[in-house]
Amino acid sequence: VWLNASSATTSVTLNGLTASSNYEYQIQTECSSGNTSAFSSNSTFSTLAPPCITPSALSSSSVTDNSVTLNWANNAGAVSYSIQYRVIGTASWMSTTSAVNTKNLLGLSPVSNYEFQVQADCGAGNTSAYSSSSNFTTLSPPCNMPTGLSSSSITDNSVVLNWTSVAGAASYNLQYRIVGSASWNTVACASNTKSLSALTASSNYEFQVQTVCTYGNTSSFTPSSSFTTAAPPCSMPSGLSSASVTYNSASINWTSVAEATSYNVRYRIVGAATWVTTTS
């Protein structure tokens, strides 16, 4: 079936044609007398492919420390898409493709600000321009909580605290207190062990540890681990002397010990096998 058009001149503009199609056309002269010529022989032309629309509505989702899902509006004429992305400020782009309007990227650098652009491929070499950039920032990698908390070398006023080293840790935060105290004492630790001093003797302590990771993010503090400081050393009496000696009694004396609550005394006749004990 032929479509018909007319023109008062030797030119006519045809609209509403089908893209990517081969057309033929013929011309017939219509004279002033009302009679017409035969139609000319065929001439042909081919309409172009429709313009390939640049993708729009770029967005990102499911961002982690090393991956992201890129999204954009579906282009009805596209058969595939080309994606280019890079850390903002770097010289070169990395490229990938997708058959649909989404793409999951892996192997990204943590805590980095990226930009990406998308180009539509409408087939037969017909591609759009790349879109404007859309940005996303990758997260810090997870910062793991320390494990294996323990204490050693406990004295009346000191202790060595230990825990398992965490991969990716830059340092650790340690907090400790006497159980039941309102506030914590907090110290920074460069490694997975810490010696504490100036503790209170005969006291039940608890401590917790937090990882500070390379990118500045931190873990939660661990559950508490506990230890009990030893009693202070009990000094031996000195300055022993005797007075008021009679045939059956004597007053025994010694220098007072500051931390003493009482004393145990033992005595015997020199050379006897057993001691007699008493208290004071």
- Rounded average pLDDT over 80-105: 98
- Rounded average pLDDT over 114-119: 98
pLDDT of the residue at 145? 97
Does residue 19 register a pLDDT over 90? no
What are residue 135's DSSP bridge partners?
115
First to last CA, the chain: 130
CA angle 266, 271, 272 (to 5 degrees): 60
Place of tokens 């032309």: 45
- Rounded average pLDDT over 102-122: 97
**CB contact at 8 A, 209 and 173:** yes
Binned at pLDDT 50, 70 and 90, residue 277 comes out as: very high
- Rounded average pLDDT over 225-247: 95
Average pLDDT, rounded, for the chain: 95
Does residue 123 register a pLDDT over 90? no
pLDDT of the residue at 189? 97
Does residue 124 register a pLDDT over 90? no
pLDDT of the residue at 104? 98
Place of tokens 């649909």: 100
pLDDT of the residue at 142? 94
Task: Give CA–CA dist 203/23, Å, rounded.
Answer: 98
Binned at pLDDT 50, 70 and 90, residue 276 comes out as: very high
pLDDT of the residue at 177? 98
Tokens of 28: 């017939």
- Which of 41-50, 55-64, 145-154 has the least mean pLDDT? 41-50
pLDDT of the residue at 270? 96
- Rounded average pLDDT over 47-53: 88
Does residue 49 register a pLDDT over 90? no
- pLDDT tens digits along 187-226: 999 999 999 999 999 999 999 999 999 998 999 999 999 9
DSSP string for residues in 218-253: B-PPPPPEEEEPPPPP-PPP---EEES--SS--EEE
Binned at pLDDT 50, 70 and 90, residue 77 comes out as: confident
Question: What's the alpha-carbon Rg for the chain, to the nearest Å?
Answer: 46
The share of the chain scoring above pLDDT 90, in percent, equals 91
pTM of the model: 0.64
Does residue 13 register a pLDDT over 90? yes
CA distances from 141 to 22, 67, 105, 113 (A): 57, 11, 16, 15
* SS3 of residue 30 by DSSP: strand
Task: Give CA–CA dist 132/58, Å, rounded.
Answer: 9
DSSP string for residues in 73-104: ---TT-SEEEEEEEETT-S--EEEEESSSEEE
